[in-house]
Every structure is written in structure tokens, then in C-alpha cells.
Chains A and B, each alone.
Chain A
Amino acid sequence: EDQVTQSPEALRLQEGESSSLNCSYTVSGLRGLFWYRQDPGKGPEFLFTLYSAGEEKEKERLKATLTKKESFLHITAPKPEDSATYLCAVQNSGGYQKVTFGTGTKLQVIP
């Protein structure tokens, strides 16, 4: 069964203090790895899809990278508005192309 494990569960950063979130995965044939952002009381918001090892994608202060076993979400010089829960998910290449989510990393950026 596909599994996604995210670490740390929670992360507290000072504004401007760069860091990385980790997503380890096992999947029966990876079609894509996703990153989502979820704000309290809202549904997750799509950020990136990564398709193969070595790929990188950037959006503002966020940069996602992918290896064969894990993905990192690097946050450069974060601002308080980056505070949210970041979810990682994988889609397998099976018949249903099922998506499995991790439980997220709750990021708090303090001014």
C-alpha cells in the first residue's frame, strides 16, 4: 500500500529563517508527487506536481525537489503569510491512479 510520511509534524520559524519540510514516500509506480497548502478552515490549495527524480519547481519563496524516495519543500526567507499546513501526496500508476496524502507539516512563521 502507498505511504506518505511528512516531517516534522510542526515547525516554528522566525521571519526570514529558511528551512525545509520533508516528505518520504513509498508508492507502486509514481505518476506524480504533489504539494498542497492548507490554511485553517479551508480546503487544500494546489502548489506543485513533480513527476520524476531530479525535478525542481519554484513558486515565490517555495521550491520543491524530488528524489526516488523523498521530496523536500524548501522555504526561503519565509514571511508570516507562509504560515499554513503543507501537505504532500503521491499518485500511483495503478488502474485508479489513486492519490495518497500525508498528514502534513504545520508551519508557523513568527514576525
Chain B
Amino acid sequence: DTAVSQTPKYLVTQMGNDKSIKCEQNLGHDTMYWYKQDSKKFLKIMFSYNNKELIINETVPNRFSPKSPDKAHLNLHINSLELGDSAVYFCASSLGTALYYGYTFGSGTRLTVV
């Protein structure tokens, strides 16, 4: 039973399209995140939600819009996709700030914009 599941695993789309990535966790965690990992393996936080409330919003273009319908779900919608958006996007969850038990990551969504 997967703890943090993301769909889809692969996404290939053309520039200018709009796409969504879904994430669900069944761990009972109260905080969820979106991270972007670029081609050099650098993981950078994009958003963080605690109990459905946005608490971290890094300098991400407003084409990216997260939505958390409940504590177990955090989706990411991307408008007007650009070539530079190509990366692996990871959803993660934690208890509180992840200090003691770390994040639990999903397996990632590889987005390729052509």
C-alpha cells in the first residue's frame, strides 16, 4: 500500500498546454509539499501546505497553482507550460516540519515539455 502516491508518473506535453499532477498520502501526515528536482538533481521546494493551509510559497511563477482539498491530497496545476518546466516533480508529506522523521516522498512525476 503506497504511502505517498503521485499520478501520472510520466507526462509529456507541448509548450503552452495546461497540466495537473495529483498527490495523495495515507500516512495521516498534516503537512504536504511539492518539490522540483532539476537535471542536476537539485531538489528545491515549491510549496508547503499544513492542514490545507499554504505555509510556504517559494519564488515560483504564478503559472503554478497548488490546491489542497483535504489533508491527504495536494495537487499541482501548471498553466502555459514552458520548456524550462521540464523536471521531476516530487510530492512529499511529513508530521509537522519533518524535523524528527523526515519527509516521505512519492516516486515522482517526470514532466517533459516539448
Mark A residues whose CB is within 8 Å of B. Answer: 31-32, 34, 36, 38, 41-47, 49, 85, 87, 89, 91, 96-99, 101, 103-104
Tell me the interface secondary structure of chain B in the complex.
loop
B27 within 8 A of A: no
Rounded to whole angstroms, the CA-CA distance of A38 and B35 in the bound complex is 14
Return the contact of B98 from the options A38, A87, A91, A103 (Cβ within 8 A). Answer: A91
Closest to A34 in B: B102
Query: Is the beta-carbon distance between B97 and A91 smaller than 8 angstroms?
Result: yes
Mark B residues whose CB is within 8 Å of A. Answer: 4, 40-45, 48, 55-56, 90, 92, 97-108
Beyond A42-B108, A85-B41, 18 additional contacts (C-beta under 8 Å) are A32-B99, A36-B102, A41-B108, A42-B107, A43-B92, A43-B107, A44-B43, A44-B105, A49-B100, A49-B102, A87-B41, A87-B43, A97-B97, A97-B99, A98-B56, A101-B42, A101-B43, A104-B41
Query: Is the beta-carbon distance between A43 and B99 smaller than 8 angstroms?
Result: no
Query: Is the beta-carbon distance between B44 and A101 smaller than 8 angstroms?
Result: yes
B residues less than 8 Å from A38 (CB atoms): 41
Tell me the interface secondary structure of chain A in the complex.
strand
The 4 closest A-B pairs by CB, nearest first: A43-B105, A46-B102, A101-B43, A97-B97
Query: Is the beta-carbon distance between B108 and A43 smaller than 8 angstroms?
Result: yes
A residues less than 8 Å from B100 (CB atoms): 49
Query: Is the beta-carbon distance between A43 and B106 smaller than 8 angstroms?
Result: yes
